[in-house]
Homo-oligomer: A and B are copies of this chain.
Amino acid sequence: MKHFSADYLRDYCKDVMVAKGIDEDCAAAVAEMLVDAELTGVATHGVTRLAIYMERVEKGLVAKGNECTIMRESPSALAIDAGNSLGAVGASFAMEQCIKKAKETGCCFATVKNSNHFGAAAFYTKKAAAAGMIGFCCTNLTAKIAPYGSSEPFMGTDPVCVAVPSEGYPVVLDMTPSVVALGKLILAQKLGKQIPLGWALDKTGKPTTDPAEGRKGSLLPIGGPKGSGIALIVELLSGVLSGAGTATHLHDLYAFDAPQGVGHFMGAIDVAAFMDVDEFRKAVSAVTAEAKSLQKAEGVNEILMPGERGCREAEARMAEGIDVPDEVCAELSAMGAPYGLRLA
């Protein structure tokens, strides 16, 4: 385990990318996203992903620059072709445009096609919340969830994220429509453990406790037809409306057969178009304070708001630094070494 400041880690990741020929602004966007994930405690989407992102760039599967073009534009809508830019590049560009336009018109939504894995969706919605807006973001991913009634994966574990500004931490709901993430099955399989019924179906559509069978089958959505419906709507917004195509047509981050072809759908809704922003922030804080002060269920120490833990951890890590496991440090060092970059 090594310990770094957020700034150091961000600069190192950026320098590695720039050394590898990535455009400087693009490198900055990706580094910021990766370190934000580390700060909020979502290490699975943090600097450990830099290696696969760079491997894809080196194999010519992802562009080195900002290749985004606006295909259609109206006062409150944008259809963007990311031109196979790094995921954080297209998604950051889209959200920044949405915020700019929402400031003028009240709200703006954008589709992005020909994009790539963009990390944690909360990174983008928090940009809107920081600007006094409600941020919305979803993306499609390779197929893992079956439509309700089917046994074949068709929709991705597509994250849906909404961020709402308050006086303190924003309320950030960042959820997949599956009961658990695929990572939990991978981990159970590694540890030789069974999984509870209710997490996955085998490939014939039967409930399974075997993580290996679950990985061959599909992940169960929350609330049956409800979670399945959420995933389908995300596919229609980020996959169809963007022109990207739905989950079964996407390419996996860890397969090297083709560009991923991921689609995103995101937007910003300006609070100021509805009410005074300070008044809104105050009211949201009052609501979360009220919710946190309710009677706790048995065995619960604290009622947490969506995103609260992550924001609190980010504050602590901004002050105290970020721990990075040795294996990830080794990967980061190896990427920088050929260019004379040393992970201190």
Q: Which residues of A contact B (CB under 8 A)?
A: 72, 74-77, 79, 102, 104-109, 111, 134, 146-152, 154, 162, 164, 171, 173, 175, 179, 201, 204-206, 222-223, 225-227, 229-230, 232-233, 235-237, 239-243, 246, 248, 267, 269-271, 273-275, 280, 283-284, 287, 290-292, 294-298, 300, 302-306
Contacts and interface: CB of A to CB of B under 8 A. Distances in A.
B107 A297 contact: no
B240 A107 contact: no
A280 B230 contact: no
A235 B239 CA distance: 28
A305 B147 CA distance: 8
B297 A106 contact: no
B107 A306 contact: no
B106 A274 contact: no
Contacts of A72: 273-275
Contacts of A108: 76, 106-107
B287 A236 contact: yes
Contact of A173 (B222, B233, B246, B296): B233
**7 smallest A-B Cβ distances: which pairs?**
A77-B106, A222-B223, A205-B297, A77-B273, A74-B106, A173-B229, A76-B105
A285 to B, nearest CB: 10
A274 B164 contact: no
A297 to B, nearest CB: 3
Given A149-B304, A290-B154, A306-B225, A274 B77 contact: yes
Contact of A77 (B105, B223, B230, B300): B105
Contacts of A292: 147
A97 to B, nearest CB: 12
Contacts of A298: 151, 204-206
A242 B146 CA distance: 36
Nearest to A292: B147
A76 B106 contact: yes
Contact of A76 (B75, B134, B233): B75
A205 B300 CA distance: 10
A239 B280 CA distance: 11
A241 B150 contact: no
A15 to B, nearest CB: 37
A63 to B, nearest CB: 22
Nearest to A297: B205
A106 B109 contact: yes
B223 A223 contact: yes
B297 A240 contact: no
Given A72-B275, A241-B280, A275-B243, A149 B296 contact: yes
B232 A291 contact: yes
A304 B150 CA distance: 9
A220 to B, nearest CB: 10
Contacts of A306: 225, 229, 232-233
Contacts of A222: 222-223, 226-227
A150 B240 contact: no
